[in-house]
Amino acid sequence: MVGYASNTGSSRNLAALRAHGWRILLTPDNPLHRKGLSYAIDNGAWGAFQKKERFKTGPFLDLVERHGGAANFVVIPDIVAGGMKSLDFSVSWIHRLKNLKKLLLPVQDGMDIYSVAAVLHQHPNMGIFLGGTTEWKLETMFEWGVVAAVMRRHYHIGRVNTMRRIRLAAEAGADSFDGTSATMFSCTLPMLESARQQPNLFAPMR
């Protein structure tokens, strides 16, 4: 399971991430690539939601234009806790991002498995990004892991900042996760890394 940390300019924290083999998550608000670190691209919808701002198309497209080709994956724009409206919004973006090597479809509160699976079925290189509110995320984490396992798709879980959440993500069969804790506090990284490296026998089989 691969760990991604929020982007940072701290040389100390970047050194810690490199030493433990973590990667970074670029966003429209923090788009600078850091030398020696593999990366993925998030769309910035969560940050806009926290600031009570509308999603900004331009900065996201600029980021994809500059760094999308080498990204491990790109998270399709979505609407936080937007249910089926979010799914429709994400689907409307697919044609603009179809040339990227891997896209992740965000799943949000209120989405049903069958609608998401139907979209994934049409796009073989698309995986799942588990977003949504914290309560919904924890309730449905394993369920979406089963969907990803059955369809053999990449499964990423957002906002994983504790050892417990890392273990839950592993039990759900996640391929990767991201969080801010390793970025903000390099002293927490060894503990998070220990949880990331812990073997897990309960993840859904692929």
At 99 the pLDDT is 93
At 39 the pLDDT is 98
At 54 the pLDDT is 86
At 186 the pLDDT is 63
Asked whether the predicted pLDDT for residue 123 surpasses 90, the reply is yes
Answer yes or no: are the C-beta atoms of 26 and 183 closer than 8 Å.
no
| Average of per-residue pLDDT values in the chain | 92
Question: In order of start, what are the domains of the chain with their CATH numbers?
Answer: 2-197 (3.20.20.105)
pTM of the prediction? 0.93
At 189 the pLDDT is 81
pLDDT in tens, 127-156: 999 999 999 999 999 999 999 999 999 999
Q: Given pLDDT bands bounded at 50, 70 and 90, which one contains residue 48?
A: confident
Q: Given pLDDT bands bounded at 50, 70 and 90, which one contains residue 9?
A: confident
% of the chain at pLDDT higher than 90: 75
Count of H helices and E strands in the chain? Answer: 9, 8
At 167 the pLDDT is 94
Exposed/middle/buried for residue 93 (C-beta within 10 Å: 0-12, 13-18, 19+): middle
Query: In the beta sheet, which residues pair with residue 157?
Result: 130, 177
183's CB contacts (< 8 A; 6+ apart) are 5, 6, 7, 8, 10, 13, 17, 24
Answer yes or no: are the C-beta atoms of 20 and 193 closer than 8 Å.
yes
Q: How far apart are CA 158 and CA 138, in angstroms?
A: 11
User: Residue 73's closest CA among 49, 97, 45?
Assistant: 97
At 187 the pLDDT is 64
Q: How far apart are CA 148 and CA 59, in angstroms?
A: 30
Tokens standing for residue 61: 């497209």
